[in-house]
Amino acid sequence: MSAPHRPKDGKSSKGQPPSRGGPAKPKSGPPARRAPSSRPSGKATPGASGPAARRTREDYPTVQAFVAIGANLGDAQAAVRAAMDAIGTIERTTVTARSSLYQSAPIESSGPDYINAVVAVRTGLTAEAFLAELQLLEEQAGRERPFPNAPRTLDLDLLMHGNSIKDTPALTLPHPRMRDRAFVIKPLAEIAPDKVPRAALARVSGQTIQRLR
């Protein structure tokens, strides 16, 4: 298939160095009143740890998305596994599930068999921003597009992004051909069976695909 194509932790500040002077001698007379703290309640103080400090970490809403991964040049199995890891390094994105690897013959193309997989993620990026990050990973893996359906070092397809429905020159969601391809539907059904109707599995039952152990 052709491509349709970290959460940031707040910087912690260092605590103030401890005083090198000796203990202060108590003064006579009534104890001095302690001035009220100028720090807002619930905010982490410099050098602090624990729940209050963790609340300074940036929070953001996320959606569930699914990415199909394929490769049939070089060490395709290693390329697919590396892509699974690389997707987890995208800003504001966490991989939550990985399918097994599957092997299938090229469709409407030639070359070695493909290795395929699907990953589920939670991402805080928009569909367009997430697609751009996937396409960057393809480029870093040496992806070239000399002609349609050419063999490839890495192919990343955004299948679904939350409940997004899009049809633009750059992006169509859900992916328009995902239910016609066994190498997408079977790994997707493995990690998200609720996303794959039985009719979709029946539609690709005649396509040869092998799950790798």
Q: How many domains does the chain have?
A: 1
In a domain, 42, yes or no: no
Three-state secondary-structure class, residue 185:
helix
In angstroms, how far apart are the furthest CA atoms of the chain? 93
pTM of the predicted model over 0.75: no
Alpha helices in the chain (DSSP H): 51-54, 76-87, 127-140, 182-191, 198-203
In a domain, 93, yes or no: yes
57 in active site: no
Q: Is 198 a catalytic residue?
A: no
Q: Is 81 a catalytic residue?
A: no
* Domain CATH for 186: 3.30.70.560
Note whether residue 206 is domain-resident. yes
**Considering the domain boundaries, does residue 201 fall inside one?**
yes
16: in domain: no
- Has residue 78 been placed in a domain? yes
Domain-embedded: residue 35: no
| Active-site choice (143, 179, 181, 198) | 143
User: Per residue of the chain (213 residues), what is the pLDDT tens digit?
Assistant: 444 443 333 333 344 444 344 444 444 444 444 444 444 444 444 444 444 433 334 578 999 999 999 999 999 999 999 999 999 999 999 999 999 999 999 887 778 999 999 999 999 999 999 999 999 999 988 766 545 555 778 999 999 999 999 999 999 999 999 999 999 999 999 999 999 999 999 999 999 999 997
Containing domain of residue 72, as a range? 63-211
Residue 20 lies in a domain: no
155 is catalytic: yes
Q: Pick the catalytic residue: 98, 155, 179, 181?
A: 155
The residue annotated as part of the active site, out of 98, 157, 179, 181, is 157
Contacts of 100 (CB under 8 A, 6+ apart): 117, 187, 190, 211, 212, 213
